[in-house]
Amino acid sequence: GGKDAINITIINFNNEKMQITWATRELFPNENVSFFYIFDEGKHKILKPCTNYLLDQDYNSGCVFKTEGPTLAISIRNSNGSEELFSKNLKADFYIKPSPPENVTFFWEEDTVTVSCNKPERNAWCLRLELQYKSKFDKDWQSRTSECCSIGEQGFDPRKCYSFRIRLRRRVPYCNVVNYSSDWEAETFWMNGTLLDSCDDDITSQSKPVFVLSCSLAVILIMLILLILLCKWQRVQMSVLPAIPDPKYPFADLFNDHNGNLQEWLDKNDHVLLQTKLEYEEPESITEAESQQEDGKNSNKQGPLEKIFTFSGADEHADSKPAEIACLLPASNTTAPFAGFHILMNDDMYVML
């Protein structure tokens, strides 16, 4: 219910500028208040009006001004400044929000990393350095805190990529009444002492040779499968659809010498055809002769030897001319030529001409 009962937010940015805000819609509904301040501990204080207001729906909700001393007196009044609605005296040094670390360096030695930054000129003992890191396999940050302004940590795997970020924290309650920390310094990415643009670069660099190897194996496998299918297809094609020989190769002279004139080619090659015919007929003659020999042996076993003389083309009368063809009984153990072959004859065999 008193003038100090409302909640306000006070931030002293690195002891350089002050920002004081309030919930204007809740504390002062439908009223645009005014703000006054002074850095002076004396009794005769001359308040300064705010020149840089923060707005919330066109209503004054805060003020930003330069830090000019360790102590501060503030006053919130009605719109024309005639009535004071809230006032407070405070230590500006107890609301300091530090700036992010400057000139951050990383020193790597095997599995140990040491992070350091510039030491502030004032009240460095009030600050602590906080380091957070995680690998590409971690979901949450791991945090370490040390005295300003250096921190070391062990156990880093040189095969992993790590993300690092650091900030400064103000000691509470020795130096601050509010637990203020600086903003995080820009995040950096390291792997085995090497600075990277991101940990995605590490994943890409590792996956690239794997990708190339996988593609090469896939291409080789596909080529092997195609080669096997081609061989199988050629076998199937030869069994289902046998190749038709080209007639121009066995009959090259028909097309080259006679321009496809079949009659002319036949007239010229009668002796060739006749020889070919004889070559095909001779095995049949040999087979017939062997068959006749077998018949002769069988007849010899069944009864006495019969000597047969057969005259082909002779007349039935006694005064006819001798036959042009006769069947003669060959002498014992004589050789008879037949169709290019010489056949050994004996008394038990006969030849019909």
Query: What one-character-per-residue DSSP string does 211-277 give?
Result: HHHHHHHHHHHHHHHHHHHHHHHHHHHHHHSPPPPPTTTTTHHHHHTSTT-HHHHHHHTHHHHHHHH
pLDDT digits (tens, 9 = 90+) for 80-103: 888 988 889 999 999 999 999 999
Q: What was the pLDDT predicted at 10? A: 95
Entry pTM: 0.54
Q: What was the pLDDT predicted at 320? A: 44
Q: What was the pLDDT predicted at 275? A: 55
pLDDT for residue 345 is more than 50: yes
Structure tokens at 92: 């500006």
Q: Count Cβ atoms below 10 Å from residue 32 Cβ, excluding itself.
A: 14
User: Please, are residues 154 and 145 in contact by the beta-carbon 8 Å criterion?
Assistant: no
97 pairs with which residues across the strands? Answer: 13
Beta strands in 26-148 (DSSP E): 34-38, 48-49, 53-56, 59-66, 71-77, 84-91, 96-97, 105-109, 112-116, 127-135, 142-147
User: Please, are residues 27 and 111 in contact by the beta-carbon 8 Å criterion?
Assistant: no
pLDDT band for 46, please (50, 70, 90 cuts): confident
Q: What is the rounded average pLDDT for all residues in the chain?
A: 76
Pick the CATH number of 105-196 from 3.40.630.30, 3.30.360.10, 2.60.40.10, 3.40.50.12170: 2.60.40.10
Q: What was the pLDDT predicted at 323? A: 43
Dist. CA 12–CA 17, nearest whole Å: 6
pLDDT band for 22, please (50, 70, 90 cuts): very high
pLDDT for residue 310 is more than 50: no
Q: Which of 244-248, 254-258, 344-348 has the highest mean pLDDT?
A: 254-258
pLDDT digits (tens, 9 = 90+) for 334-343: 565 544 555 5
Dist. CA 310–CA 332, nearest whole Å: 19
Dist. CA 264–CA 277, nearest whole Å: 19
Lowest mean pLDDT among 115-124, 162-171, 254-263: 254-263
pLDDT digits (tens, 9 = 90+) for 151-169: 999 999 988 999 999 999 9
- Residue position matching structure tokens 């083309």: 313
72 pairs with which residues across the strands? Answer: 90
CA distances to 27, 160, 167, 255 from 104, in Å: 43, 21, 10, 94
Q: What was the pLDDT predicted at 326? A: 43
pLDDT for residue 298 is more than 80: no
Q: What was the pLDDT predicted at 208? A: 57
Q: Which CATH fold would you assign to the domain 8-97?
A: Immunoglobulin-like (2.60.40)
End-to-end CA distance of the chain: 155
Backbone angles phi, psi at 207, to 5 degrees: -80, -20
Helices (H), the chain: 24-27, 199-240, 252-256, 262-268, 270-302
